[in-house]
Amino acid sequence: MMEAEQERRLRALRAEMAKEHLAALIVPRADEFQGEYVAPSSERLAFVSGFTGSAGFAAVGREAAALFVDGRYTIQVRREALPGFWDFRHVLDQPVEDWAKTHLKAGERLGYDPNLHTPAQLRALDAALAGQGLVLVPTTRNLVDAIWSERPAEPEAPVEPYGAEFAGEAASAKLQRIAAALREQGLDALVISAPDNLAWTFNIRGGDVAMLPVAFGHAIVMADGTGTLFLSSKKLGREALAHLATLPGFDRREPAEFAGALAGLGGKRVRLDRATGSSAIAESLKAAGAEAEPGPDPVTLMKAVKSPVELGGMRAAHRRDAAAVTRFLAWFEETPPETLDEWTASEKLEEFRRAGNLYRGQSFATISAFGANAAQAHYHADAASAAPLGRDGIYLVDSGAQYLDGTTDITRVLVTGTPTPEMKRRYTQVLKGHIAVSRARFPEGVTGAQIDSLARQFLWASGTDFDHGTGHGVGCYLSVHEGPQSISKRGTETALKPGMVVSNEPGYYKEGGFGIRIENLLAVVALDPQPEGAERRTLGFETLTFVPYERRLIEVDLLDAGERAFVDAYHAEVRARLEGELSDKERDFLQRATAPLGGPD
C-alpha cells in the first residue's frame, strides 16, 4: 500500500471514530463466523493496514496505531505494513493493554464490532484493560465498511450435497446425535456458528471462501432434532434444495431472518459455541430472555472423530496426493534450481495435483520459500514477489489439497547443491522430534499438550525451539486446520480420540538463514493388539502421509538405531505404496530417495 493511500484510509477511519466518540477502535482479522479463512469482503484488517496474515488485530487510536501478531507473523507484518503508520507488537510479549496505557486515558471509549468478537474475547480484553478506566463500546455499524467504498460483494457460491459415500453418515442421523447431546446437557437448542460445523452437520459443501469448501450461514438445532438452517436461497440449486428437503422437521430461511429466530428463543437454554459464537448473537439471546450457555459446540468433537468411511477416504486421498508430491520431487531433482523461483516451483506442484482424481483445489495457500524466506513460518510468495531459487540452499514447500474424499497437508524441505553441516544437524533434530511423535504410545485421556514436548526435546537440548504448534486437527474435505484437538504447548482440554486426524510438523527457523519443517498427517488409532499387561486402553498414530524425506539432509550418525529403522521402514512403505503410480523415471528417483540409510550397527 502506498503511503498516501495508507494515510487516507486511517484518516477516514478516524473520522468515523470521531462520529462515534471513540478514542480507539479494535479491528480484528475476523468475520462473524470467527474462522481462519475469510471472504474478500471481510478482509478488513488487510484493507486498513496491508497486513494479510491469518491472525492478528489492529488498535487504531486518534493519532497512534498498532498491529498485534503472534510469532508466525512478526517478519511478515513488517514487510507488508508501513512502519511510519504502525507500531508492530507481539500479541503476548507486547499486549494491547500496554499500548492502551500509553495512548488512551481513563474514561475514554474503545470501540469494537460485536459481530466480530466472541464474548470470551471481549471478557479477556476487558480484564486486560481493568484498572485503566477505559470503556468498551459496541458499535452499531462496522466503521471499516463505512470507508471501504469498493468493498467486494458478500459471497454467494453454490452449495452442493455431500454424498453418504464420502460422509459415511446421513445428515438426519447427525442431527439426532446432536439433539441427544443437547438433551444430555439439559439444553433446549444449539446455535451453529462455525461454517465447517454447518457443512458437516447438513452434509453440504460450498465455495464462499477460497480453499475451504463451506457455505456461510447459521443454524438453530432444537433438542428434539428439528430446527432452522439460515442459508441464502441464492446459493441453493435444485440438488441442494432436494437434499435439504429430506431432513425431517427442518426449515430453511434467509440469513436476514436469523435475528428474528434468536428473538424467538426466550426462556430456553441455548448453547452458543464459545469459539465462534459472536457477542452480537449472545446479546440477542440475552435480549430475548434466553439463557445463553457458552461452551463447546458438540458438533466440533463429533466432526473431529472421523467415521470409518471418512478415514478410508482420507487414506485414499493421501495416496493420490503422495503420488503427486513425489512426482514433483522427482521433477525438482532434475530441474536446475537457477531456472526456478518460488512461484514457478509451487505452480508445478499444483499442476501435478490438478491431474489427480477427485481434486478440488488447494487446502491452503502454498508456502513456497527458499533460503531466508523459509525462516518465516507462514511466508507466501506470489508471481510478482517470488524469490529465485539458487544453489546450496534449502527450499521449503508446505502445501495441501482438497479432494472430495479427504484433505491433505504436507511439508517437505529440499536441498539444492551442498547443504552445510548446520543445515543437516538442524534437519536431523527436527526429524528426530517428528519420529518421536509418530511413534508415541499413550493411554486414553492424554491431550496433545502432553505429547508436544516429544517433538521439541532434541531442539530444546541444543537451546532452540520453534514458535508454532507441533500439530493441528484436519478435516475431511473441510478445514485443514480443525479443532478441538491439537498438539501444542498451549494445547486444549480435548483428549486425543481414535478417528481424529492431526498434523505432526516440528520445525526450526534461523532468521536470515533458512527454515526447516517436516510434516505428515496422522490418524489417532487404538493399538491392536494392546500392550501386554496394559491397564488402560492405549492409543497411537497411524501415518497417512507417505512421501520421501530429504535424505541428503539427514545426519545419520545423529539417529539412534530405532530412528534409523523407523526411517527405513517408512521409506519402504513409501516405495510399496507409490511404485505402481509412477513412471519409470519417477520410480528411479523413488528408489534413490528411499534407499536404506545405513549407518552404525
- Averaged pLDDT in 10-residue chunks for the chain of 601 residues: 94 97 97 92 97 93 94 86 94 91 94 96 91 93 97 96 95 97 98 97 97 97 96 96 94 96 97 96 97 96 98 98 98 96 97 96 96 87 90 95 98 96 98 98 97 98 95 98 94 92 97 96 96 94 98 97 98 97 96 87 46
Main-chain dihedrals φ then ψ at residue 168, nearest 5 degrees: 80, 0
The CATH number assigned to the domain holding 164 equals 3.40.350.10
Let me know if residue 154 belongs to a domain. Answer: no
Domain closes at, from 102, 122, 147: 147
Let me know if residue 221 belongs to a domain. Answer: yes
515 strand-pairing partners: 509
Provide the CB-side half-sphere exposure for 145 (13 A, CA): 15
Find the helix or strand (DSSP H, E) in which 292 lies.
strand 291-295
Residue 167 contacts residue 303 (beta carbons within 8 Å) = no
Provide the CB-side half-sphere exposure for 555 (13 A, CA): 15
> What's the pLDDT at 601?
46
Both 141 and 219 in one domain: the answer is: no
Both 276 and 365 in one domain: the answer is: no
Both 178 and 143 in one domain: the answer is: no
Let me know if residue 169 belongs to a domain. Answer: yes
What is the total count of domains within the chain?
3
Domain closes at, from 267, 283, 303: 303
Residues 6+ apart with CB under 8 A from 16: 143, 146, 147
Both 74 and 222 in one domain: the answer is: no
Find the helix or strand (DSSP H, E) in which 553 lies.
none
Let me know if residue 363 belongs to a domain. Answer: yes
Residues 512-524 have pLDDT tens digits of: 999 999 999 999 9
Cα separation of 564 and 562, whole Å? Answer: 5
Give the pairing type, strands 65-69 and 87-90.
parallel
Main-chain dihedrals φ then ψ at residue 410, nearest 5 degrees: -145, 140
User: How distant is the alpha carbon of residue 371 from its chain centre?
Assistant: 24
Cα separation of 217 and 33, whole Å? Answer: 9
447 strand-pairing partners: 495
The CATH number assigned to the domain holding 529 equals 3.90.230.10
Cα separation of 330 and 592, whole Å? Answer: 10
Main-chain dihedrals φ then ψ at residue 457, nearest 5 degrees: -55, -40
Both 278 and 261 in one domain: the answer is: yes
User: How distant is the alpha carbon of residue 114 from its chain centre?
Assistant: 23
Cα separation of 144 and 570, whole Å? Answer: 51
Find the helix or strand (DSSP H, E) in which 508 lies.
strand 507-510
Both 130 and 213 in one domain: the answer is: no
> What's the pLDDT at 54?
86
Cα separation of 434 and 519, whole Å? Answer: 8
Let me know if residue 52 belongs to a domain. Answer: yes
Cα separation of 13 and 147, whole Å? Answer: 7
567 strand-pairing partners: none
Both 9 and 123 in one domain: the answer is: yes
Domain closes at, from 93, 121, 147: 147
> What's the pLDDT at 242?
95
Both 289 and 433 in one domain: the answer is: no
Question: Using CA atoms in the order 17, 22, 23, 25, what is the torsion angle rounded to 10 degrees?
Answer: -70
Nearest to 81 by CA among 69, 63, 93: 69
Cα separation of 452 and 219, whole Å? Answer: 35
Q: Which domain holds residue 106?
A: 3-147
Let me know if residue 179 belongs to a domain. Answer: yes
Both 90 and 136 in one domain: the answer is: yes
Cα separation of 412 and 325, whole Å? Answer: 9
Question: Using CA atoms in the order 386, 392, 394, 400, what is the torsion angle rounded to 10 degrees?
Answer: 60
User: What ranges in 439-580 are assigned the alpha helix state H?
Assistant: 448-460, 561-578
Side by side, the strands of the sheet bearing 269-273 are 250-253, 227-230, 218-222, 189-192, 269-273, 291-295
Let me know if residue 598 belongs to a domain. Answer: no
Cα distances (angstroms) measured from residue 44 to each of 16, 76, 83, 195, 525: 15, 17, 19, 19, 41
Cα separation of 185 and 271, whole Å? Answer: 10
Let me know if residue 601 belongs to a domain. Answer: no
Residues 320-373 have pLDDT tens digits of: 999 999 999 999 999 999 999 999 999 999 999 999 999 999 999 999 999 999
Both 318 and 335 in one domain: the answer is: yes
Cα distances (angstroms) measured from residue 550 to each of 163, 276, 304, 511, 601: 38, 39, 31, 21, 22
Residue 423 contacts residue 514 (beta carbons within 8 Å) = yes
Both 363 and 450 in one domain: the answer is: yes
In the DSSP assignment, the letter for residue 218 is: E
Both 189 and 119 in one domain: the answer is: no
With b for 16 or more beta-carbon neighbours within 10 A and e for fewer, the 66-93 pattern comes to bbbbbbbbbbbbeebbeeebbebbebee
